[in-house]
Amino acid sequence: MARSLSLTVPSGHLTLGNLLGAIQHWAADQRGDDSLYGVADLHALTTEHDPASVRAITREQLGLLVAAGLDPARSIVFVQSQVPGHAQLHWLLEATAYDGELRRMIQYKEKSALTASVRSALLAYPVLMAADILLYGVQDVPVGEDQRQHLELARDLAIRFNQRYGDTFVVPRAVTPPVGARVMDLQDPARKMSKSAAPDAPGTVRLLDPPDAIRRKVSRAVTDSGREVLFCPEEKPGVANLLTILAACSGTTPEVAAAKVDTYRDLKEAVAEAVIAVLAPLQERYAEVSTDPGAIEAMARDGAARAQRIAAPFLARAQEAMGLLASLCGGSDSCGGSDAAGTVITGGAQIDSMTTPTPSTASDTMMPSTEPTPVLSPSPNSSRPSMMLASGSTMSRVAWDAASGPTAYAPWSSTVPKIPVAAMA
């Protein structure tokens, strides 16, 4: 099946809309290394932000993703900034994009109109989003309507790059989730429920809200004129939003949900109890996993290493196509890769953890490799060097490609520290 990628941005605490519209579908579609899920922390830097808050919410979102059912044994769960390829490919795509097409992005125009000065990152972040997708050869991208324009940009950049530099990237396509894909604000049903809303926003239900807060917010939700409970988004957007939430929480359709309640009061009570029933096991699981933040961060580091192995050949192919020299991270095992023992190997670029691990035993201490140090010698009929071992023997290009992949490059040094990755408890 096609590889898929889904990320959440730590711009605020995750909401009911995030769960019903996306995360539940992620948990139901875990297909090993073909399913990549994570926290796109680089996207949280486009506007003024509190660094400590970004870091804390990144950790919280990782825990909530696991609590919601994402399993690192059945998918890849990682943090965007811990995979160097995202930022590296971003620059290559910046050199492919045009200023005019970025300024036509609806979100940029809306946000830049609210202030006299905006960061250039706000203009460029759709290109970073394109890099997120193209880095892994992703074909199916679950998106809401508000992100569809950005996916179209990713498609345009992939097609343009392929036409100019040769067939390099998979051209992605949008996949829209079913019921619950767009949960609206309880106080303003014309606006999407947003995790960026104020912490005390009455129209936003957070995943970690206690039952009393959920009942209070739902009871004060905007409804519409009239008394009949009907699913009619055009004429009754407030009621339609509540029915959408009820349907998504109970596994039915909005029309069926409407037939089971008679009054607005009944509807709100049913919605509140359904939401509480969905969030209670998630909150219980989150309380368990959050007691061991080290395990969550170890999971993220391991996920980043697995993601980097997938990304490395795509990045190397793009670098070579644009005329750059061989990357230190060109091979799957030379940058953020993993050896047979399951240790993360850091080469040309470091995959940093959110906290620095402290060696607990002698075997955990960073030790240099005992393998012979390779030197590089020119290889005929190839722009890549062959790999000459210290013993004087030379590994042929064919043998090298068979061992390391067709886009791999020899590391500058084999004296690479190995950092053990703790398993999830």
Which long-range contacts (C-beta less than 8 Å, at least 24 apart) are formed by 197-202? 197/12, 199/13
Candidates 3.50.40.10, 3.40.50.2300, 3.40.50.620, 3.90.1300.10; CATH matching 4-175: 3.40.50.620
Winning range, highest mean pLDDT, from 224-228, 377-381, 420-424: 224-228
Confidence of residue 392 (pLDDT cuts 50, 70, 90): very low
What average pLDDT does this structure show over 177-206? 87
The catalytically annotated residue of 109, 111, 236, 268 is: 111
The catalytically annotated residue of 109, 192, 236, 418 is: 192
pLDDT digit string, tens, across residues 298-353:
999 999 999 999 999 999 999 999 999 866 554 444 454 433 333 332 222 222 33
Q: Tokens 């711009």 map to which residue?
A: 11
Query: Which one, of 415, 299, 422, lies nearest residue 359 by Cα?
Result: 422
| 61-90 as b/e: b if 16+ CB within 10 A | bbbbbbbbbbebeebbbbbbbbbbbbebbb
Whole-angstrom Cα distance, residue 278 to residue 62?
19
* pLDDT of the residue at 317: 95
Q: In the annotation, is 111 catalytic? A: yes
| H-only helix segments in 237-362 | 237-250, 254-259, 264-289, 293-321
Whole-angstrom Cα distance, residue 313 to residue 190?
43
* pLDDT of the residue at 63: 97
Whole-angstrom Cα distance, residue 83 to residue 100?
29
Q: Are 10 and 45 in contact (CB under 8 A)?
A: no
* pLDDT of the residue at 367: 34
Whole-angstrom Cα distance, residue 104 to residue 54?
28
How many residues are listed for the chain in this entry? 425
Check pLDDT > 70 for residue 372.
Answer: no
Which has more pLDDT, 328 or 250? 250
Confidence of residue 147 (pLDDT cuts 50, 70, 90): confident
Q: Are 314 and 96 in contact (CB under 8 A)?
A: no
Helix axes 211-219, 264-289, angle to 10 degrees: 150
Residue 418: helix, strand or coil by DSSP? strand
Q: How many CA atoms lie within 13 A of 239 on its CB side?
A: 24
- Tell me which CATH homologous superfamily contains domain 211-289: Tyrosyl-Transfer RNA Synthetase (1.10.240.10)
Query: Which one, of 332, 341, 367, 312, lies nearest residue 421 by Cα?
Result: 341
What average pLDDT does this structure show over 401-418? 37
Residue intervals of the chain classified under CATH 3.40.50.620 are 4-175
Whole-angstrom Cα distance, residue 225 to residue 234?
13
The catalytically annotated residue of 195, 217, 236, 418 is: 195
pLDDT digit string, tens, across residues 102-122:
999 888 888 888 887 888 988
Type and span of the H or E element at 401? helix 397-404
Q: In the annotation, is 236 catalytic? A: no
Check pLDDT > 50 for residue 362.
Answer: no
Which has more pLDDT, 100 or 367? 100
Residue intervals of the chain classified under CATH 1.10.240.10 are 211-289
CB atoms < 10 A from the CB of 320, how many? 20
What average pLDDT does this structure show over 364-385? 38
Query: Which one, of 7, 71, 24, lies nearest residue 247 by Cα?
Result: 24
Query: Which one, of 165, 116, 200, lies nearest residue 317 by Cα?
Result: 165
Whole-angstrom Cα distance, residue 239 to residue 231?
7
